[in-house]
A and B are shown apart, each in its own frame.
Chain A
Amino acid sequence: MCGDTVHIYVITVVTTVAPESIVDELQARGLQVKQVLAALGQIIGEGSEQVAAALRELDAVESVDAEQHYRAIGEER
Chain B
Amino acid sequence: MHTSRHQSTEAAEVPGRYVLVFDQPAAGAPGLAQVQRDTELPQLLAEQGYSTSEYFPMLGIAVVSSDTEQLEDFRQRCAGHRLPASVVPELVYRILPDAAKVPGQSSFADTVEFTWGLQAVGASLSSYTGKGINVAVLDTGFDSAHPDFAGRTVDTKSFVDGEDASDGHGHGTHCIGTACGPRDPQQGPGYGVASEANIFAGKVLGSNGSGSDSTILAGINWALENKCEVISMSLGADVKTVHPPYVTAGRRALELGSLIVAAAGNNAQRSAGNPGFVGAPANSPYIMAVAAVDSALAIADFSAQALDAQGGAVDIAGPGVDIYSAWPGEKRYNTISGTSMATPHVAGVAAQLAESTGLRAQELWDKLLSTSRDIPLPAEDAGAGLAQAPASTEGQ
- A71 pairs with B235, CB closer than 8 A: yes
A73-B214 contact, Cβ under 8 Å, with A39-B256, A68-B237, A68-B280? no
Would A71 and B237 count as touching, CB distance under 8 A? yes
Query: Are B243 and A72 in touch, CB under 8 angstroms?
Result: no
Give the number of residues in B that approach A within 8 Å (Cβ atoms): 48
Task: Give the docked Cα–Cα distance between A8 and B280 (Å).
Answer: 18
Q: How far is the CA of A62 from the CA of B218 in the complex (A)?
A: 18
> Which residues in chain B, 214-240, are within 8 Å of chain A measured between CB atoms?
214, 216-218, 220-221, 224-225, 234-237, 239
Give a binary string over B317-346; 1 marks a CB under 8 Å from any A CB, 0 the rest. Answer: 000011000000000001111111100000
Bound CA span A34–B215, Å: 11
Surface stretch bound by A, among B11-19, B46-54, B203-211? B203-211
Q: Is B209 a contact partner of A65 (Cβ separation < 8 A)?
A: no
Is chain B's interface secondary structure helix, strand, loop, or mixed overall? mixed
* Min C-beta distance of A26 to chain B, whole Å: 16
**Complex formed: what's the CA distance from A45 to B65 in Å?**
68
Q: Is the CB of B337 within 8 A of A39?
A: no
- Give residues 263-292 of B contacting A (CB, 8 Å): 263, 265-266, 280-281
In the bound complex, do residue B252 and residue A40 qualify as a contact, i.e. CB atoms below 8 Å apart? yes
Give the residue among A62, A73, A76 with the most B Cβ atoms within 10 A. Answer: A73
Tell me the minimal C-beta distance from A32 to chain B in angstroms.
13
Assembled-state Cα–Cα distance A42/B340 (Å): 26
B140 & A68 in contact (Cβ 8 Å cutoff) = no
Q: Contact check: which of A65, A70, A76 meets B236 at CB < 8 Å? A: A70
CA distance A73 to B292 in the complex (A): 12
Q: Please, what's the 1-or-0 string for B71-87, where 1 marks a CB less than 8 Å from any CB in chain A?
A: 00000000000000000
Determine if B248 and A62 form an interchain contact, defined as CB atoms under 8 angstroms apart.
Answer: yes
Q: Are A74 and B248 in contact (CB under 8 A)?
A: no
From A34, A63, A74, B244 is in contact (CB under 8 Å) with: A63
Judged by a CB distance under 8 angstroms, whether B184 is at the interface is no
Tell me, yes or no, whether B213 is within 8 Å of chain A by CB: yes
* Residue A37 at the chain B interface, CB threshold 8 Å: yes
B217 touches A42 (CB 8 A): yes
Task: State whether B252 touches A71 (Cβ < 8 A).
Answer: no
Is A65 a contact of B245 with CB atoms below 8 Å?
yes
Residues of B with C-beta under 8 A to A71: 205, 209-211, 235-237
Bound form: Cα–Cα A73–B339 in Å: 7
Q: Is B37 an interface residue (CB 8 A)?
A: no
Docked-complex contact B244 and A70, CB < 8 angstroms: no
Contact A73 B263 (CB under 8 A): yes
Is A60's beta carbon under 8 Å from chain B?
no
Question: C-beta contact mask, A27-62 vs B, less than 8 Å → 1, else 0?
Answer: 000000011011111101000000000000000001
Asked whether, in the complex, the Cβ of A75 is within 8 Å of the Cβ of B169, the reply is no
Question: What A residues does B339 contact at CB under 8 A?
Answer: 73-74
With contact pairs A12-B245, A63-B244, A65-B245 given, residues A72 and B214 touching in the complex (Cβ less than 8 Å):
no
User: Are B210 and A69 in touch, CB under 8 angstroms?
Assistant: yes
With the chains together, A30 CA to B39 CA distance in Å? Answer: 72
| B217 lies within 8 A of A72 (CB) | no
Query: Closest CB of chain A to B23's CB: distance in Å?
Result: 39
Q: How far does the alpha carbon of A75 sit from the alpha carbon of B256 in the complex, in Å? A: 33
In the complex, A65→B237 CA distance in Å?
A: 15
Chain A residues with CB under 8 Å of B239's CB are 68
A77 to chain B, nearest CB (A): 4
What's the minimum C-beta distance from A16 to chain B, rounded to whole angstroms? 14
Contact among A35, A41, A44, A69 with B211 in the assembled complex (CB-CB below 8 Å) = A69
Would you call A67 an interface residue if the criterion is a C-beta within 8 Å of the partner chain's C-beta atoms? Answer: yes
Q: Is the CB of B236 within 8 A of A40?
A: no
User: Which B residues between 159 and 198 are near A, CB-CB below 8 angstroms?
Assistant: 169, 171-172, 174-175
Is the Cβ of A72 less than 8 Å from the Cβ of B244?
no
- A73 adjacent to B236 (CB under 8 Å): yes
Q: Known contacts being A37-B218, A77-B336, is A72 close to B171, with CB within 8 Å?
A: yes
Nearest first, the 7 A-B pairs at minimum CB distance are A74-B340, A74-B338, A37-B221, A39-B224, A72-B171, A72-B209, A10-B245
